Amino acid sequence: MKVKAVFFDLFETLISEFENGSRKAARSTRLEEALGVDSKLFRKEWNARQLQRMDGAYSDFPSVIHEILEVLGHAADEEVVEALHQERIAEKAAAFDKLDQRILSMLEQVKELGIQICLISNCTHEEVTAWHSSGLAASFDAALFSYQVKAAKPNPDIYLLACEKMGVTPAEALFVGDGGSNELEGAAKVGMTAYQATWFVPPYISEKIAGYLKLAEPLELLEQIQLHNSR
């Protein structure tokens, strides 16, 4: 069956938050330090809300912080919370700077084949404020953000919604991602062919995920599309 659509993950697939092993926008102060709360207690509460942060259960970043502070019995300083909110927006936006030309070239060539491309990203609102003004957005036919569609990978709903939006069946689609959040397994379970993008991912991390063809360079996807279409 011919490939009619390719679905891409965002962070550590199309863009990376890291450069030379360090974050591009490293915080000078950790969230919990700025808020004046116990580090272990804060991280426990923050991590416990991972899924809810991704699937739109919270309206924004400040609402998450307010709830955690309430649970910890700590008063919220609104100026500090808003400053952290703006810092987080800037931190995430840094990943959209200096886009990798290999990726832009790959996206252009996929489009030239008449194949639709769509984003499927687990994210919160503040993490993707730079998406629409980035050099990536114009290449995409659609973008599904988990917080908007109220479903996060590997929930099958987000993949099926993406297929419906593109007017394709899962069998006509490929999924490309670094493998976080069990996204490759989720894609495969609904019937997509899944590939692991490893160009931004250190080997000690990528090697932990088995069972999916690994793409070391973006343009290798073009070879896989050709192979897929020749079957």
CATH number at 131 reads 3.40.50.1000
Q: Which domain holds residue 216?
A: 5-16+98-230
Amino acid (one-letter) located at 225 = I
Q: State the average pLDDT over residues 48-66.
A: 97
Residue 87 phi, psi dihedral angles, 5° rounding: -65, -40
**Domain's final residue, options 69, 94, 119:** 94
Asked which of 60, 76, 94 is the last residue of a domain, the reply is 94
H or E segment at 156? helix 156-166
The H or E element that residue 6 is part of is: strand 5-8
Token pair 């069990």 is at which residue?
182
Nearest one of 198, 228, 226, 195 to 211, comparing CA atoms? 195
Q: Are residues 165 and 224 in the same domain?
A: yes
Residues 80 and 120 in one domain: no
Q: Give the β-pairing of 213-215 and 193-197.
A: parallel
Q: Are residues 134 and 187 in the same domain?
A: yes
Residue 59: CB atoms within 10 A of its CB come to 11
How far apart CA 204 and CA 80 sit, in angstroms, is: 37
d(CA 45, CA 69): 9
* Cβ neighbours around 36 below 10 Å, total: 12
Alpha helices in 36-145 (DSSP H): 39-48, 50-54, 61-71, 78-93, 101-112
Q: pTM for this structure?
A: 0.96
Q: What is the pLDDT of residue 28?
A: 67
Q: Name residue 160's amino acid.
A: L
- 161-207: per-residue pLDDT in tens? 999 999 999 999 999 999 999 999 999 999 999 999 999 999 999 99
Q: 46 and 73: one domain?
A: yes
Can you read off the two tokens belonging to residue 185? 């397994």
Residues 107 and 201 placed together within one structural domain of the fold: yes
Q: Are residues 145 and 216 in the same domain?
A: yes
Three-state SS at 131: coil
Counted domains in the chain: 2
Do residues 129 and 208 share a domain? yes
**Looking at the structure, do residues 201 and 104 belong to the same domain, yes or no?**
yes
φ and ψ at residue 140, rounded to 5 degrees: -100, 140
Section 92-96 average pLDDT: 96
Clarify whether residues 140 and 164 are in a common domain: yes
Same structural domain, 103 and 187: yes
135 contacts: CB under 8 Å, gap ≥ 6: 99, 104
Distances (CA, A) of 31 to 35, 54, 80, 111, 151: 6, 18, 10, 41, 26
Q: What is the pLDDT of residues 112-126, one digit of tens each?
A: 999 999 999 999 999
- N-to-C CA span, the chain: 8
Quote the CA–CA distance of 17 and 15 in Å, as a whole number. Answer: 7
Which of the listed residues 42, 65, 94 is the one where a domain comes to its end?
94
pLDDT (tens digit per residue) in 1-56: 899 999 999 999 999 999 988 888 877 678 999 999 999 999 999 999 999 999 99
* CA dist 197 → 1, 147, 148, 163, 226 (Å): 22, 23, 25, 20, 17
